[in-house]
Amino acid sequence: QVQLVESGGGLVQAGGSLRLSCAASGRTFRNYAVGWFRQAPGKEREFVTTINWSSGNTYYADSVKGRFTISRDNAKNTVALQMNSLKPEDTAVYYCAARDNSFLVTTWSGYDYWGQGTQVTVSS
């Protein structure tokens, strides 16, 4: 069993930056894929980005490509999401998710474990 805890959300002005972190307990992320999703009020949960823990391969949604960067820290067993050039439309609850398979997928149903979410609010 894997427990995920997100941190780093908050309020930022448009054009600013935030860094989210996802920490795992229970086991290491080795051989997992870890992703970030987000859900705005009244909208469906949407894919943001994902990383293959072993290879480091990543994949991004078009809406965040070039602005967001996902990375991993093997020593700390954490995954970070660096968000730059934030826009009001990035406002959402951001969730960390992990799947017990390193193959990268973009659908939320493909992930086995979820964090509780962290709020990101971007003001205009």
Write the pLDDT tens digit of every residue in 5-39. Answer: 999 999 999 999 999 999 998 888 888 999 999 99
Per-residue model confidence (pLDDT) at position 1 = 80
Per-residue model confidence (pLDDT) at position 101 = 87
Residues 6+ apart with CB under 8 A from 10: 18, 119, 120, 121
Residue type, 5: V
CB 58 within 8 A of CB 70: yes
Point out the residues of the chain with pLDDT beneath 70: none
d(CA 83, CA 43): 20
